[in-house]
């Protein structure tokens, strides 16, 4: 039943002289689950906007349901059954589940008055069609992201969706929730509805999709069956570069000083009975899906989430960490998961971002900031980490993800940390920059800094850490040396644990 639904034929698009899409073709069949991948700037979002009719292609045609469009308008795209669910979901946080699902239909029917029974019955019907139950009266802002996605899917289905395009749907949901989402998608497939995932989380893409379309620099690299791809080939197709992956070789020193020791740390509802050690020069990987307690634990170590009980030793001394200030003074640094919101002052210059953790050392004798000193200092770090920028005066928001992350790292290195906790350091960063950041992290470890790297990408952990701690449901379920395991084994451990443990309910 390979009946074609969408056919994008030889589409090209220029933006101000830059070729965003170069002769790209792609076809999606009814009921197909497809992934569209590519690094930032590869043309993914341009392609989606063209399919949605929001952006007009310069040449080429779009054939939907056998009907050819040279100039597709948004309304044509919607009428043909194409629904885009953007990453921010475009839901109304203050309105109920029922209203969020049915509002579009009410707008479309151009009804002036609202019949609340109808609103609820529309929503209830659509939810039961995807075999899900949600409280129709609950405000959407109180739902988990996964449930918000279900609401967005229902809303799309109500408008007779034949193809649902989901932009980065798995970024903020747990493994269990991803499985749940997939169940829904497979159900839709049975009803002949196609799904196009847009993503750059490599390991998940391979799990989800049947077929993967890879874009690079506006050109299509090819369509591949997910079964013939693995992490390395996919990252090669995306970046065009063979990235040499060496594993991290950690030489345990003889006088095994302990840098950080955590004993029976517990915070009710978040994590229980956590004990582990970290030595100088180590990179310890902490892996576990969202909700496993990993980020909450990291926040506790950095003084942002007070634990209920347990002990933390640094260099053998019992410490209490009540604020980030105290953590920094103890030699701890924490690179947050969400660098845009928590790691950077986006509108400020690179220079200001780098110096912010260390203003104390830049004061003149009148206790004012010494500008010369400041720019000298910022330049030093920019060179040290090879942040690729025209000037240190550029606002951080203008930088690529990789460069932004280097700025965050520089900011923390400026505090001279002995323990560096990195939470998901390469999320949303393209493949080439990724390996560069990994190299930076290894260099830090070689200098004797103890690193804790939190991630949910198995290959990243296995290739960069000498020891791995697996967390699930707030517990450490496994601790092992990297040399004793393989990527496949770790995948196995993770997926068996994510199925057995319920997500904690805060």
Indicate which single residue of 15, 68, 73, 108 sits in contact with another protein (rule: CB under 8 A). Answer: 108
Stretch that binds another protein, among 21-29, 90-98, 228-236, 377-385 (CB under 8 A): 90-98
Given a contact cutoff of 8 angstroms between Cβ atoms, the answer to whether 150 and 134 are in contact is: yes
Residue (114 or 380) nearer to another protein, CB: 114
Cβ 493 vs Cβ 290: under 8 Å: no
Asked if 79 is part of the footprint of another protein (rule: CB under 8 A), the reply reads no
Q: Binder to another protein among 37, 98, 103, 452 (CB under 8 A)?
A: 103
DSSP label of 67: E
Please name the residues in contact with 103: beta carbons below 8 A apart, sequence gap of 6 or more.
Answer: 92, 95, 155
Q: Fill in the per-residue mask, 289 to 318: x = in contact with another protein (CB under 8 A), - = not in contact.
A: ------xx--x-----x-------------
Q: Is residue 113 at the binding interface for another protein, with CB under 8 A as the rule?
A: yes
The answer to whether 145 contacts another protein (rule: CB under 8 A) is no
Rounded distance between C-alpha atoms, residue 313 and residue 319, angstroms = 6
Which residues, 6 or more positions from 88, have their beta carbon under 8 angstroms from its beta carbon? none
353-392: contacts with another protein (CB under 8 A):
none
User: Does 164 help bind another protein (rule: CB under 8 A)?
Assistant: no
Binding pattern for the stretch 48-67 against another protein, x by CB under 8 A and - elsewhere: --------------------
Indicate which single residue of 106, 184, 206, 346 sits in contact with another protein (rule: CB under 8 A): 106
| Backbone phi, psi, residue 447, to 5° | -80, 0
The interaxial angle of helices 371-384 and 401-413, nearest 10 deg, is 120
Beta carbons within 10 angstroms of residue 85's beta carbon: 22
Count how many Cα atoms sit within 13 Å of the Cα of residue 110 in the half-sphere of its side chain: 0
Alpha-carbon span 89 to 169, nearest angstrom? 9
Residue range at the interface with another protein (CB under 8 A); choices 112-120, 170-178, 322-330, 360-368: 112-120
Q: Which of 114, 252, 359, 380 binds another protein (CB under 8 A)?
A: 114
Closest distance to another protein from the beta carbon of 336 (Å):
12
Query: Which of 12, 45, 104, 180 touches another protein (CB under 8 A)?
Result: 104
Distance between CA 453 and CA 467 in Å, rounded?
10
Between residues 86 and 491, which has the closer beta carbon with respect to another protein?
86
Stretch that binds another protein, among 57-65, 101-109, 203-211, 490-498 (CB under 8 A): 101-109
The Cα 287–Cα 475 span in angstroms is: 11
Using CA atoms, how far apart are residues 407 and 340, in angstroms rounded to an integer? 11
Taking residues 248 to 277 in sequence order and writing x for each that binds another protein by CB under 8 A, - otherwise, the string is: ----------------------x-------
Residues in contact with 289: Cβ distance below 8 Å, sequence separation at least 6, in sequence order: 174, 175, 176, 456, 472, 494, 498
Binding region for another protein (CB under 8 A): 86, 90-95, 99, 103-104, 106-108, 111-114, 142, 270, 295-296, 299, 305, 506
């Amino acid at each position: 039943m390979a009946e074609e639904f969408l056919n994008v034929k030889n589409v090209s698009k220029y933006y101000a002289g830059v070729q965003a899409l170069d002769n790209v073709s792609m076809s999606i069949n009814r009921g197909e689950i497809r992934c569209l991948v590519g690094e930032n700037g590869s043309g993914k979002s341009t392609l989606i906007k063209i399919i949605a009719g929001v952006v007009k292609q310069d040449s080429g045609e779009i054939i939907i349901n056998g009907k050819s469009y040279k100039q597709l308008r948004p309304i044509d795209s919607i009428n043909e059954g194409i629904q885009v669910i953007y990453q921010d979901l475009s839901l109304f946080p203050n309105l109920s589940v029922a209203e969020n699902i049915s509002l579009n239909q009410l707008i479309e029917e151009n009804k002036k008055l609202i019949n609340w029974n109808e609103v609820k019955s529309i929503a209830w019907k659509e939810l039961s069609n995807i075999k899900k139950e949600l409280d129709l009266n609950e405000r959407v802002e109180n739902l988990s992201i996964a449930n918000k996605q279900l609401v967005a899917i229902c809303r799309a289905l109500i408008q007779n969706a034949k193809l649902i395009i989901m932009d980065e749907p798995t970024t903020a949901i747990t493994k269990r929730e991803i499985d749940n989402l997939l169940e829904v998608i497979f159900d839709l497939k049975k009803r002949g509805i196609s799904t196009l995932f847009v993503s750059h989380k490599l390991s998940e893409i391979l799990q989800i999709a049947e077929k993967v379309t890879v874009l690079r620099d506006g050109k299509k690299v090819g369509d591949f069956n997910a079964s013939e791809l693995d992490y390395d080939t996919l990252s090669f197709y995306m970046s065009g570069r063979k990235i040499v992956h060496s594993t991290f070789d950690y030489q345990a020193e003889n006088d095994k000083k302990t840098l950080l020791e955590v004993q029976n740390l517990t915070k009710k509802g978040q994590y229980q009975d956590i004990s582990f050690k970290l030595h100088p020069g180590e990179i310890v990987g902490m892996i576990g899906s969202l909700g496993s307690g990993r980020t909450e634990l990291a926040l506790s170590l950095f003084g942002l989430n007070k634990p209920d009980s347990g002990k933390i030793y640094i260099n053998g001394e019992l410490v209490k960490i009540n604020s980030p200030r105290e953590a920094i003074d103890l030699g701890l640094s924490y690179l947050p998961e969400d660098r845009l919101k928590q790691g950077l002052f986006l509108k400020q210059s690179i220079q200001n971002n780098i110096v912010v953790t260390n203003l104390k050392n830049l004061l003149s004798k009148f206790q004012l900031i010494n500008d010369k000193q400041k720019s000298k200092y910022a330049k030093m770090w920019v060179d040290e980490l090879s942040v690729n920028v025209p000037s240190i005066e550029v606002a951080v928001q203008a930088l690529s993800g990789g460069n932004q992350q280097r700025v965050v790292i520089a900011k923390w290195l400026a505090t001279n940390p002995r323990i560096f906790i990195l939470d998901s350091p390469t999320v949303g960063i393209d493949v080439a920059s990724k390996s560069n950041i990994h190299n930076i992290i290894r260099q830090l470890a070689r200098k004797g800094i103890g690193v804790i790297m939190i991630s949910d990408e198995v290959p990243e952990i296995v290739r960069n850490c000498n020891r791995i701690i697996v967390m699930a449901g707030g517990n450490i379920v496994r601790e092992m040396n990297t040399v004793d395991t393989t990527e496949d084994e770790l995948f196995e451990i993770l997926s068996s644990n994510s199925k057995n443990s319920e997500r904690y309910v805060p």
